[in-house]
């Protein structure tokens, strides 16, 4: 197979031409129509190749992610990208044979002795437009489900992580034929072209604003979509929760990847009067997790200077509008930033901040924060938190901390969110048997595990008529015999 050019330091990411995007899509489309189904052995072999790609080249991919972020340790990429992919591959390979089997269904009495089942078949060509924040996991995760379901995959990764995107293109070309799985590169124009192709399904992960544009472009060809978007995911602390434990778990969920996580807790409700205690517990938790920020390889850089400037502008505006902004510093005596040059990666390691007194007229309460900034809102009654959540677009995730099951169940019943983790953060995304997806403005459709396999399959209903069928009794011309048969059938319903 033809080798693709690799990205050298200082080079721009090579765009895939419009003609090449069309050629690759047409090749995949033709292959999917020439082989409408894919045998179990073919599906397994493709997944095993993807696993080999990860096993053999994880260090190279981690180095590419580090180059794109400026500061993001291979260990962080291991836990946040590779571990989830390995777990997803292991589970998919374990259950794939069962998922592929036709699903028998009961036949109603009035159709017996016919037999029926649901046969899951590949959709065809699945497009994947992936984001920059977890540039390996969110590129290859949808591909696992799509390949398991027997599809071809056309991946367009983010232009904001050019080293990772170029390395993915190079490696995928080494392990897969272009009509099985290929990568196209470029900016928003290439993404728009992919979204406008007559794909059989399109997966997009990114902002709600861009998701709307993707859905509109896909609608021209009636392309079904899975949209994994963002939003403001709330966390609620009940009065009886373990404040220290909750603060640690919220700090971890908020500061993983420096807050650049679509399911990170975006703002926090706590009982009024506990603000100072929470601030102290949160500071202590952050100090244990990240004793220092500048030069700490476990603490990721903000992806670009533009994104960093936006976050600082959110804090500036909040201060000007009267909020109490508390920026967290390094623990005294922590190591100084290393002297070696890491580009501007260290300069983009933004210190975490707590914001008390945030109000609805502040941008940080209107926009998804996507950074290490946590607004904290006091509530007197649970109704206040629930009303606030329900008055805004439905979030991708919700987090509740407490020990009272009745209160937990009330929160679950009275709110709608893409997913929930109770007494922790983020972990529902890692459960192999739970679907992952949004609702409303935070997206639609879900994948991971069997729900992903089903999402990327066509459930074809099949009925096999028996030669002993009595269906002819319902054929015209209608008359007295028809009336007698219908009278009997009505009694059986």
Dump strand ranges (E) for 59-147.
Answer: 103-104, 115-122, 125-129
What count of other Cβ atoms lies within 10 Å of the Cβ of residue 203? Answer: 28
Residue 399 inside a domain? The answer is yes
Residue 338, token pair as written in the block = 């290393």
Q: Does 184 share its domain with 213? A: yes
Q: Does 240 share its domain with 160? A: no
Dump strand ranges (E) for 423-470.
Answer: 436-437, 443-444, 446-447, 457-464
Residue 13 inside a domain? The answer is no
pLDDT of 11 over the 80 cut: no
Q: Does 210 share its domain with 252? A: no
User: Which of 108-112, 305-309, 391-395, 463-467 shows the lowest per-residue confidence on average (mean pLDDT)?
Assistant: 108-112
* Given the residues 180, 262, 294, 450, the one annotated as active site: 262
Question: Phi and psi dihedrals of 318, rounded to 5?
Answer: -60, -40
Helix axes 40-69, 162-175, angle to 10 degrees: 160
100 classed as catalytic: no
pLDDT of 14 over the 90 cut: no
Q: How far apart are CA 62 and CA 277, in angstroms?
A: 38
Q: Does 210 share its domain with 301? A: no
pLDDT of 9 over the 60 cut: no
pLDDT in tens, 55-109: 999 999 999 999 999 999 999 999 999 999 999 999 999 999 999 999 999 999 8
Q: Does 184 share its domain with 116? A: yes
**Residues 400-404, mean pLDDT to the nearest whole number:** 97
pLDDT in tens, 317-374: 999 999 999 999 877 766 665 544 445 789 999 999 999 999 999 999 999 999 999 9
pLDDT at 1: 33
Residue 487 inside a domain? The answer is no
Q: Does 168 share its domain with 238? A: no
Whichever domain contains 58, its CATH number is 3.40.605.10
pLDDT at 134: 97
pLDDT at 474: 86
Residue 8 inside a domain? The answer is no
pLDDT in tens, 188-233: 999 999 999 999 999 999 999 999 999 999 999 999 999 999 889 9
Q: Does 223 share its domain with 75? A: yes
* Given the residues 159, 180, 228, 368, the one annotated as active site: 228
Residue 470 inside a domain? The answer is no
- Domain range for 399 is 234-437
262 classed as catalytic: yes
Whichever domain contains 269, its CATH number is 3.40.309.10
Q: Does 110 share its domain with 175? A: yes
Q: Does 304 share its domain with 349? A: yes
Residue 336 burial by CB count (10 A; 0-12/13-18/19+): exposed, middle or buried? Answer: exposed
Question: Per the structure, how many domains does the chain have?
Answer: 2
Q: Does 224 share its domain with 369? A: no
Q: Does 301 share its domain with 372? A: yes
Q: Does 210 share its domain with 194? A: yes
Residue 196, token pair as written in the block = 């406008």
User: 447 forms bridges with which residues in the sheet?
Assistant: 436
Q: If you ran DSSP here, which 8-state letter would residue 6 be given?
A: P
Residue 396 inside a domain? The answer is yes
DSSP 203-272: EEES-HHHHHHHHHHHHTTT--EEEE-----EEEE-TTS-HHHHHHHHHHHHHGGGG--TTS--EEEEET
Q: How far apart are CA 3 and CA 239, in angstroms?
A: 59
Omega before 477 cis (within 30°)?
yes
pLDDT of 427 over the 60 cut: yes
pLDDT at 471: 83
The closest alpha carbon to 349, from 396, 297, 426, 394, belongs to 297
Answer whether 369's CB lies under 8 Å from 350's CB. no
Task: From residue 65, give the alpha-carbon distance in Å to each of 51, 103, 301, 314, 352.
Answer: 19, 41, 11, 27, 22
DSSP 138-196: HHHHHHHHHHHTT-EEEEE--TTSHHHHHHHHHHHHHHS-TTTEEE---SHHHHHHHHT
pLDDT at 6: 40
């Amino acid at each position: 197979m033809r080798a693709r050019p690799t990205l050298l330091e200082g080079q721009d990411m090579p765009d895939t031409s419009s003609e090449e995007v069309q050629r690759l899509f047409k090749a995949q489309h033709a292959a999917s129509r020439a082989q409408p189904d894919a045998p179990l052995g073919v599906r397994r072999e493709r997944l095993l190749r993807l696993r080999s790609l990860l096993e053999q080249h994880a260090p190279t991919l981690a180095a590419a992610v580090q180059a794109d972020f400026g500061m993001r340790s291979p260990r962080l990429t291991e836990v946040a990208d590779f571990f989830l992919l390995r777990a997803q591959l292991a589970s998919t390979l374990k259950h794939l044979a069962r998922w592929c089997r036709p699903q028998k269904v009961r036949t109603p009495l009035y159709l017996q002795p016919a037999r029926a089942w649901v046969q899951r078949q590949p959709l065809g060509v699945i497009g994947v437009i992936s984001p920059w924040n977890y540039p390996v996991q969110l590129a290859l995760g949808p591909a696992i489900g799509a390949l398991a379901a027997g599809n071809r995959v056309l991946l367009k990764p983010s232009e904001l992580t050019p080293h990772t995107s170029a390395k993915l293109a190079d490696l995928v070309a080494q392990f897969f034929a272009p009509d099985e799985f290929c990568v196209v590169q470029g900016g928003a124009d290439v993404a728009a072209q992919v979204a406008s192709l007559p794909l059989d399904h399109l997966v997009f992960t990114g902002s709600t604003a861009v998701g709307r544009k993707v859905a509109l472009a896909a609608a021209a060809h009636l392309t079904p979509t899975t949209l994994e978007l963002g939003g403001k995911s709330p966390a609620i602390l009940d009065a009886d929760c373990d404040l220290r434990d909750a603060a640690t778990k919220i700090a971890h969920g908020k500061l993983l990847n420096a807050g650049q996580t679509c399911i990170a807790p975006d703002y926090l409700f706590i009982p009024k009067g506990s603000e100072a205690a929470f601030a102290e517990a949160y500071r202590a938790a952050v100090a244990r997790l990240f004793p220092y920020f500048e030069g700490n390889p476990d603490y990721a850089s903000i992806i670009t200077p533009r994104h960093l400037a936006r976050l600082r502008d959110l804090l500036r505006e909040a201060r000007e509008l009267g909020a109490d902004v508390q920026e967290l510093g390094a623990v005294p005596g922590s190591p100084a930033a290393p002297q070696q040059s890491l580009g501007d990666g260290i300069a983009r390691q933004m210190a975490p901040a707590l914001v008390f007194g945030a109000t609805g007229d502040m941008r940080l309460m209107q926009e998804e924060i996507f950074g290490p900034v946590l607004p904290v809102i006091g509530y007197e009654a649970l109704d206040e938190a629930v009303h606030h959540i329900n008055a805004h677009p439905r979030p991708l995730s919700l987090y509740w901390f407490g020990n009272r099951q009745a209160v937990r169940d009330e929160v679950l019943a009275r709110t709608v969110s893409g997913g929930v983790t109770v007494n922790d953060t983020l972990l529902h995304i890692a459960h192999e048997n739970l679907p992952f997806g949004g609702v409303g403005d935070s997206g639609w459709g879900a994948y991971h595990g069997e729900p992903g396999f089903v999402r990327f399959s066509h459930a074809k209903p099949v009925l096999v008529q028996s030669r002993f069928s009595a269906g002819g009794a319902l054929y015209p011309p209608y008359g007295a015999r028809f009336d007698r048969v219908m009278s009997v059938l009505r009694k059986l319903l």
